[in-house]
Amino acid sequence: MSFFKKLKEKIAQKTDAVTEKFKEGLSKTRNSFAEKVNDLVARYRKVDEEFFEELEEILISADVGVTTVMDLIDMLKTEVKKRNIQDPKAVQAVISEKLVELFTNDDQTTAKLNIQPDGLTVILFVGVNGVGKTTTIGKLAHKLKNEGKTVLLAAGDTFRAGAIEQLEVWGERVGVDVIKHSEGSDPAAVIYDAIQAAKSRKVDILICDTAGRLQNKVNLMKELEKVKRVIEREVPGAPHEVLLVLDATTGQNAMSQAKQFGEATNVTGIVLTKLDGTAKGGIVLAIRHELKTPVKLVGLGEKMEDLEEFDPEQFVYGLFAEMIDKEEVES
């Protein structure tokens, strides 16, 4: 059985609505990436060094990242030689197979949100301004509430004008309370009060917003460390997640942010927003492969429901949907 067929069978066992979201959300990347791969395959009669060089350029243009591309090309060359593949069309399935392998070669339990079965779960959000951090918090609160969890929000971004109000708007839309202080107050004090409120109300999950820290602002990074100390003191073992929000449309700049935030705080997972707004969705692969940090959530649209847990198989299907569906029809 071909890899595409196996992948289609696995996808068939998953929720249709989620699969459709990945397919729609990755349409810009797919249209750009898949068209170039199809054109490459059509122009070559055999798989040779020139073929791989062009494929390398296509992957780099999709923002997969140079290091990841080199590793992926090496894997492809080894597999093509091992299977004695001569037909360029056969390489398409091998590409998707190796992409899934790159996503799943580590322990995939780390890709799931670390929600505590008992007691309070504290999730801390970090990231620069403009990446969709507050919106993502609102979407996650909506998602968790729909899963039967009680949720409380903490307005820890006391620096940016309008940040508290923006979180309150989301709280009203979702139907969850927001703990806040006045603008300019100590973020650690806000988080402390939010933890006490969460404990007294026996809330399942507390989601904490923080200021959109620029990597070069040392004082803001110190503020983040202070917030973390308060959380660790008040809830042993917390924060259970430190989620870094990155904007997929910024491509390699998102990689740079991820590296710098990773040095400043113990990031446990990435949330990649606006994946539907870019043709360079390969950044997901670069982050996963080069930083060894799991992509836990992806934004696939503007609606409240358009935040999904990252699924490598649905992601790869979203990239190659037309090819996979075409192969199934032809067979």
Per the annotation, binding residues for GTP are: 127-134, 209-213, 273-276
Q: Measuring CA to CA, which residue among 212, 318, 295, 186 is closest to residue 248?
A: 295
Q: Residue 250, SS3?
A: helix
C-alpha to C-alpha distances, 260 to 66, 267, 283, 321, nearest whole angstrom: 19, 10, 16, 34
**303 Cβ contact list (under 8 Å, min separation 6):** none
- Give the residues across from 271 on adjacent strands: 245, 297
Tokens for 195, please give them.
């933890």
Alpha carbons 261 and 212: distance in angstroms, whole number: 11
Residues making up the annotated binding site are: 127-134, 209-213, 273-276
Cis before residue 239, ω within 30 degrees of 0?
yes
Task: Judge residue 321's burial from the number of C-beta atoms within 10 Å of its C-beta, 0-12 exposed, 13-18 middle, 19 or more buried.
Answer: buried
